[in-house]
Structure 1
Amino acid sequence: MSEADERPRRRQARGERRITQLLQAAASVFCALGYTASSTNAIAREAGVSPGTLYQFFPNKEAIAIELSAQMIKEMEATHGRVFTPETARLPLDRLIDEVTEPFIEFNSANPAFLALIKGSDAPGRVAEEHDVLHNALLERVTELLAVRTPSLSRTECALISEMSFAMFKTGLNLVMQHEGAERERYVRELKSMLYRYLAPAVGTEAVPAP
């Protein structure tokens, strides 16, 4: 490959690294200030670049938020693709709860900007729309998991239990994310215990043999 061919590739690689740098800076700023109070100037300062450099890649704060949200949602979708399987559905209930909840707790712990964006009162409409799509997809996957585990339940019953469980998890996750270290672990245990106590009467506690 010639030097002339290499130059565009190097420029593209530098551009991708700069975008990653700006998105990481935006995540930090959104977490610290919230979406509403954040600005492109604050993001540029956090990234160690000039506002002019930022505007080469993103026209405004909204575009940054949309790109950051899209990347995190893509990662979340990959996570729930690995979690909601027939094998997981048939585990003992305590292990099932571990398998389903821990990846999402880990994801939100590693990406606190995800909740910061969702909670922003004036976050871009596209962010809210994409989150609603993700939310509905997760509810559907939980419903399918419950149907595999407990085929005696109707689809309507599975959907109701799924919605209630998901609401419990989201509420508990907000509390988990407000704490650190050992205190966070205590909230995680309490969250799992709450889900166990709610689900046990409906779906049983023992492993379910494969048909």
Structure 2
Amino acid sequence: MSEDPKPRRQARGERRIAQLLQAAAAVFCANGYTASSTNAIAREAKVSPGTLYQYFPNKEAIAIELGGRLIHQMRERHGQVFTPRNMTLPLPELIDAVLDPMIEFNCLNPAFLALMHGSDVPGRIAEEHDELHTSLLTQVRELIGARAVPALPDEDLDRISDMTFAVFKGGLALIIAAPEGPVRDAAVAELKKVLFRYLEPVFEGEGSITTAPTPR
């Protein structure tokens, strides 16, 4: 009995899709989503445009597939970071436990941020990114709320959570832009230092709370 060729064809198809998505990630990082083209992606993948169109009808479809996979991976990373065990760690260890996996993911997948900066990024990807952003901010808020002593009023908790998240995003952009090695390592250490000094007064056992009064 001859072997069914379908599994082999499916495996080849998956490898080709992975090849095209890897090429798209490189092109999006180099040019940004808006300035990228299917021809550029095909050249990067070392295939003909016709081969690319066998798998994706246009650049938007490529971005949706790539973005969907990256967002799924990021959600999984969030689940590994915000665990009950990590949430009870002393502040320096907590910062390491949360930041290190997130920084690693973004440095390994710079296309994740590149996809979000184009003016014509597909709406589906933008919506999923916004949902992910909201979910992460909610987790940060819940963590700070659970660890703050004394308990923070909602207005203060919102402000501190927003600031913490903004500092992380700003520092992450600098880290990704830094060359791998000592320069990037120094940027990571600096971000952790900033977050520790900002959150130290808020966390139980790390010092007294020193939140600024709300302007009137």
Q: Is the 8 A contact 1:89 1:146 kept in 2?
A: no
Deviation at 1:144, TM superposition (A): 2.1
Pick from 83, 86, 92 the counterpart of residue 85 of structure 1: 83
- Is 1:94–1:196's contact at 8 Å kept on the other side of the alignment? yes
CA contact (8 A) 1:150 1:203 kept: yes
Higher RCO (Cα < 8 Å, 6 or more apart):
1
Tell me the distance in 2 between the aligned counterparts of 1:155 and 1:61.
46
1:178 aligned partner, one-letter code: A
- Show the counterpart of 1:176: 175
Q: TM-score, normalised by structure 2?
A: 0.89
Displacement of 1:155 after TM fit?
Answer: 6.9
Aligned with residue 24 of structure 2, among 20, 23, 26: 26
> Residue 117 of structure 1: which of 115, 118, 123 is its match?
115
Q: Which amino acid aligns with 1:168?
A: V
1:58 and 1:155, CA in 2 relative to 1: closer, same or farther beyond 3 A?
farther
**Any gaps of 5 or more consecutive residues in structure 1?**
207-211
Match of 2:201 in 1: 201
CA pair 10-24 structure 1, distance change in 2 beyond 3 A? same
> CA offset at residue 130 of structure 1?
0.8
Tell me if the contact between 1:86 and 1:148 (Cα under 8 Å) persists in the aligned partners: no
Give the corresponding residue for 2:209: none
How many residue pairs get matched? 204
**Whole-angstrom distance in 2 between the partners of 1:149 and 1:196:** 14
Percent identical among aligned pairs is 60
| Residues 149 and 202 in structure 2, CA contact (< 8 A), matched pair in contact too | no
- CA separation in 1, counterparts of 2:183 and 2:121? 30
Q: Please state whether the residue corresponding to 1:168 is helix, strand or coil.
A: helix
Partner of 1:167: 166
Q: Letter of the 2:41 partner, please give it.
A: I
Gaps of 5+ in 2: 207-216
**2:101 and 2:45 mapped to 1: Cα distance?**
28
| Greater helix fraction, Structure 1 or Structure 2 | 1
Moved more, 101-110 or 177-186: 177-186
CA RMSD of aligned residues (A): 1.6
Deviation at 1:3, TM superposition (A): 2.9
The structural deviation recorded for 1:129 is: 0.8
Distance 1:33 1:69 in 2: 16
